[in-house]
Chain A
Amino acid sequence: MGRRTRTWSDEQIEQTVGNLLRFGVLLAAGVVALGGVLYLFHYGNTTPDYHIFRGEPSSLRSPAGIVSEALLLQRRGLIQFGLLLLIATPIARVAFSAVAFWKQRDHLYVAITLVVLGILCVSLIGLA
């Protein structure tokens, strides 16, 4: 118990993970809603067609492209940036877990967590 002051207890980790998830979702929802309002003001009267699959332009497919679209305050780019934040929330949770297990000196779980983190990065950045 004496080490509790230096390492993190499971309860502390659970509280922090909970807060992290909540903050990420609220932030993402806020950005999506903001982009959504701007999007509706601009495109509200056009007619959408989701029957036929075309795929998004390349600028809305990669994290780098989405960030630059959002910085230009492009409406669809802003929504996509919010969705990217949402995808990033569980990834941030996994990254935080790696740090927490490291603080607990649980090296087995640091390794397991880094494997999961690696898989998530592969999915977002590469191979596709």
Chain B
Amino acid sequence: MSQLTVFELTVLLAFSSIGAGFIGALTGLGGGVVLVPLLTLGFGVDMRYAIGASLISVIATSSGAAAAYVKEGYTNIRIGMFLEVATTIGALVGAFLAAKLSTSVIAIIFGAVLLYSAYLSNQRHQDHPLDAQPDPVATRLRLDGSYPTSEGSQSYHVQNVPLGFGLMFTAGTLSGLLGIGSGAVKVLAMDQVMQLPFKVSTTTSNFMIGVTAAAGAGVYLSRGYIDPGLSMPVMLGVLAGSLWGARMLVYARPQLLRKVFSVVIFILAIQMIFNGLTGRL
């Protein structure tokens, strides 16, 4: 790879990043989970530069997609803001851990998170019963809300706030440590633990990813982990790919896509763990 000129590498990175953004948008997992393995395993980029560039692209795609979702009225802005206290503190912790841990350890954690994401994306989704009782903590924090459905506006009650908050801290830490959006963990916390409707969970997760990633990116920037020459094609490529993917979503078959994508993620996960264990990253 060291034989490539800056121009050739930029073009290759841009096209790969368009692919990562496209697949990330179609499967709902985001570009970050493919980008870091792609940059480190495929292009031989140092882990720290890869995580910095990935985190930057995560902000771009999250903000781009959130703009549309927020306008549709699914996103719960109060839940997002409240949980961002946990995710941003987590992101700072993760970004500081990234400087303390060796790249081998980070690679192994990355692989484990990839495996878990692949597993989660294949779980069948079940809707929650609508007769849930109001939770006192959620009521005091005014987290309950409503969202548009085909039968009109549907209200919901939020459950298990402390556990959801704790999981969000974990999601933030992983985001700051690995340079990913950790949307899978965020959706798990909101959909499974806090019992939010699935559409509210996914769109609020997307809304939060940008702020979480910005907290991590700030630390990376001041540490010198964010290289403009590398981040430029990655950010522009992932952004273009994800906008394209969001448009193609109407024509896609998500079940099949998720199956294919989870196989890809599984292979990447094994490679990350193997390279981490053998100290090649």
Contacts and interface: CB of A to CB of B under 8 A. Distances in A.
Interface of A: 10-11, 13-15, 17-19, 21-22, 24-25, 28-29, 32-33, 35-36, 39-40, 43-53, 55-58, 60-62, 76-77, 79-80, 83-84, 86-87, 89-91, 93-94, 97, 106, 108-109, 112-113, 115-116, 119-120, 122-125, 127-128
B92 to A, nearest CB: 6
Interface size classification for chain B = 35 or more
Nearest to A51: B44
A29 B231 contact: no
21 contacts: A17-B77, A21-B66, A21-B70, A25-B239, A29-B235, A29-B236, A32-B231, A44-B10, A50-B46, A61-B224, A79-B231, A84-B221, A87-B221, A93-B63, A93-B211, A112-B81, A116-B84, A119-B85, A119-B88, A123-B218, A124-B221
* Interface secondary structure of B, over-half rule: helix
B226 A119 contact: no
Contacts of A35: 228, 232
Given A79-B229, A113-B81, A128-B222, 6 more contacts: A50-B45, A52-B46, A79-B228, A93-B63, A94-B84, A116-B85
A127 B44 CA distance: 30
Interface of B: 1-7, 9-10, 43-49, 56, 59-60, 62-64, 66-68, 70-71, 73, 75, 77-78, 81-82, 84-85, 88-89, 91-92, 95, 141-142, 210-211, 213-219, 221-233, 235-236, 239
A14 B75 contact: yes
A61 B220 CA distance: 9
A34 to B, nearest CB: 10
Contact of B224 (A56, A84, A113): A56
Nearest to B233: A36
A93 B70 CA distance: 12
Nearest to A88: B214
Given A11-B73, A109-B78, A120 B211 contact: yes
Contacts of B223: 55, 61, 128
Contacts of A36: 10, 232-233, 236
B42 to A, nearest CB: 12
Contacts of B219: 123, 127-128
A44 B8 CA distance: 8
Contacts of B85: 112, 115-116, 119
A97 B7 CA distance: 41
B270 to A, nearest CB: 23
A13 to B, nearest CB: 7
A51 B46 contact: yes
B9 to A, nearest CB: 6
B67 A45 contact: no
A76 B229 contact: yes
